[in-house]
Structure 1
Amino acid sequence: MKMLAMDTSTLVMGIAVLHLEEKRVLGELTTNLHKNHSVRLMPALDQLLGDLELNMSDIQALAVSAGPGSYTGIRIGVTTAKTMSWALGLPLYSESSLTVLAMNGLRFDGVVVPLFDARRRRVYSGVYRREGERMVEQIPQQVVEVDLWLEQIAELNQPALFLGDDVVRFEEVIRRRLGEKARFGTAAENIPRASQLGMLCRHKWANHEPPEHADFSPNYLQMTEAEANWIKKQGNGETSHAQKS
């Protein structure tokens, strides 16, 4: 059995095909470009399957990153995966994009901190520690102001490996707050891997965890700007109505 995994939750677009029974990555395609995933995802998928001499009829399961990350990128990946799941009758599994990135620090002897920029000096992040061949959350995923986040990490008093292309934007304040306990990933370690996504979802498949339901939706960790504006308008409307009454 084979699984197709796709991750479009950041600027990195990754696709991988795994052999489920053999726990083997058959092929992987990764790019890190400022280009539209909606235009490039399906051609990249066709390319990888072609290189492996496979068709979609050879795929028995799907995996997708559920966020957080880029709103647009997440929607592209999740919508594509859900459409393929429905059209082909394939089970769909998902995993957090932060957990996927944290897997690059599996061999680190300390805590691992995957991080995406959430703008306005905030980050999407979580703190992980290795347990066997998996990364387990030590501090739950959240969207948080970076200085407050570093306070939480400093309280652990452990070496902390920061992963992600966005880490460079906060490297100075990280070094200032954590000193020698701050470690930083290499260029390769900072890129989420679709093969890691596939292996995480393969674990769910092997342990007979149920796939996602038809109403599965991304995990943004916060409201979209459109949602926040709508709620703000509703709140203003209620206030105005109350004042009039």
Structure 2
Amino acid sequence: MKILGIESSSIAASCAIVEDNTLLGEFTLNHKLTHSEKLMPLIENLMSSLDINISDIDLIAIDEGPGSYTGLRIGAAIAKGLAFKDNIPLVNIASTEALANNIKTVDIPIAVLIDARGDRVFHGIYVKKGDEMEQLEEIDAGTIQEFLATANEKYREMIFTGDGAMKHESLITEIFGNKAFVADEYDSIIKAWSLCVLGYRKFLKGLTINSKDFSPNYLRPSQAERNLKKD
């Protein structure tokens, strides 16, 4: 089974193709070009390099968010278009789960923090149990101060990952002290291969969806919608 993973929820754009749990190839760009300019060419270049056509793909794993409104919208449009054309099933993966999957440590809570501008973050908490991942807290949005205050009361130690963790590392250290470990930049970027791995697990559980039924999980209105409400 060949799985195409598509990631566009943050500044990084990534795509990967995995076959039978073997990574065939992955391209990741962490650069300030718009996803509308770089994501589809990235996918086309990857498939060309591997001599693979879209008709060879059996499953598409797409990041559903939360994250960048524009990035998620572009990624969704590309994934839905590719899936619809060749009737390929989709699996949707939360960006927080994909980031947690970067961390290999087991039995220690993993706090995923995604920058939502200012002092706000999208957040989720997971823990790895062997090869499985358990979600400890629902994905939500709030201020970094509120999240850290609550988490510090509930957990004795914690691993932090995501661009929100890197942005607020000094505050995390101030509140958690030596109870916290903040992942490096490499493990704080979502990789498309992670979407493929998690997507395959969902596929085995029968959790695929039709392309027309997929929509991103924005968790909050777009900036344009917020500005409209102010008017």
2:15 aligns with: 15
After TM superposition, the structure 1 = structure 2 runs for residues 23-172 of structure 1, keeping only pairs within 5 Å, are 23-172=21-170
Q: CA deviation at 1:213?
A: 5.3
Q: For 1:144, what is the secondary structure of its paired residue?
A: strand
Distance 2:211 2:14 in 1: 23
2:195 paired with 1:200: no
Q: CA deviation at 1:232?
A: 5.0
The structure with more radius of gyration: 1
Q: For 1:183, what is the secondary structure of its paired residue?
A: strand
Amino acid at match of 1:28: E
Say if 1:106 and 1:134, in contact at 8 Å, map to a contact too.
no
Distance 1:157 1:61 in 2: 37
Q: For 1:119, what is the secondary structure of its paired residue?
A: coil
Say if 1:17 and 1:26, in contact at 8 Å, map to a contact too.
yes
Say if 2:91 and 2:207, in contact at 8 Å, map to a contact too.
no
Distance 1:168 1:80, change over 3 A: same
Q: Give the percent of matched residue pairs that are identical in Structure 1 and Structure 2.
A: 33
Residues 3-62 of structure 1: per-residue CA shift (max 9 Å, x gap):
11100110111101011xx22221111111111111111211111112212111211111
2:182 aligns with: 184
Q: CA deviation at 1:210?
A: 3.3
Residues 79-111 of structure 1: per-residue CA shift (max 9 Å, x gap):
110111111111111111111011011324411
Structure 1, gaps ≥5 residues long:
234-245
Distance 1:101 1:213 in 2: 24
State how many pairs are aligned.
231
Say if 1:94 and 1:212, in contact at 8 Å, map to a contact too.
no
**TM-score, with normalisation over the residues of structure 1?**
0.89
Distance 1:152 1:212 in 2: 38
Q: For 2:124, what is the secondary structure of its paired residue?
A: strand
Superposed CA RMSD in Å reads: 1.6
Amino acid at match of 2:36: S
Say if 1:101 and 1:114, in contact at 8 Å, map to a contact too.
yes
Say if 1:111 and 1:158, in contact at 8 Å, map to a contact too.
no
Q: CA deviation at 1:209?
A: 1.9
Distance 1:150 1:176 in 2: 10
Q: For 1:65, what is the secondary structure of its paired residue?
A: strand
Q: CA deviation at 1:218?
A: 0.7
Q: CA deviation at 1:225?
A: 2.4
Residues 101-154 of structure 1: per-residue CA shift (max 9 Å, x gap):
110113244111111111231101111111332322211111111111001210
Distance 2:157 2:210 in 1: 35
Distance 1:206 1:89, change over 3 A: same
Q: CA deviation at 1:76?
A: 0.6
